[in-house]
Amino acid sequence: MAKRDWFTIPNLLSYFRLILIPFFVYYYVIAETQADYMLATGILLLSGITDAADGFIARKFNQGTKIGQLLDPIADKLTQIAVVSVLMLKWRVFIFLFSLFLIKETYMTVQNIRLYRKSKRLDGAEWYGKIATIVFYLTMFIAVFFPNLSDVTVTSLVVLASAYQLLAFFYYARLFNHMHKE
């Protein structure tokens, strides 16, 4: 692993996303006005834009690295955990989505380790995982930007995001099962 691999533009963007996490948490937790929530939403949006940019740059300019393959999903998961954690402070129903997310991600980590031991690997996210992630982020984005949503609306968003998490979990379980049998 070359030292320059640590400092590619995509990896610098992933580091930046990691740095944004405590700023998002701080500004969301202290938010009192709509402008405060807009600032927290802006930080979350900036994180999302840099996430899309790092992947695009890595592919388009052949700047993908082994470090980036680890760093990008770590930044993604830590951001998701931070956002859903602060949302649980306001709406307890988010604990359901948080629990599903942790179960799915733990399962996927264990399965990826098992595949690695067989010299196999899952090359990136599948379409159903990407859709579940998009719905998860949209749910969080809406809840952060609109802090006065009704409990019914929040519960509906959590149910929708949870359904997509379950769908992705089911399809990934099938995929991992198939890969282990090969």
The pLDDT tens digits of the residues spanning 19-49 come to 999 999 999 999 999 999 999 999 999 999 9
Q: What is the DSSP letter of 1?
A: -
pLDDT confidence of residue 5: 84
pLDDT confidence of residue 54: 93
Count Cβ atoms below 10 Å from residue 170 Cβ, excluding itself: 12
Q: Which residues fall within 8 angstroms of residue 111, CB to CB, at 6 or more apart?
A: 122, 172, 176
- The enclosing H or E element of 91 equals none
pLDDT confidence of residue 88: 97
DSSP reduced 3-state for 166? helix
Per the listing, tokens 């990896």 go with 11
The pLDDT tens digits of the residues spanning 127-141 come to 999 899 999 999 999
Residues of the chain under the 70 pLDDT cut? 1
Give pTM, 2 decimals: 0.91
Chain mean position to CA 146: 20
Q: What is the DSSP letter of 118?
A: T
Helix residue ranges, H only, the chain: 9-30, 34-60, 66-90, 94-117, 127-145, 151-181
pLDDT confidence of residue 122: 83
Q: Domain map of the chain by residue range?
A: 1-90, 92-181
Could you tell me the two tokens for 98?
């948080």
Contact 180, 115 (CB under 8 A): yes
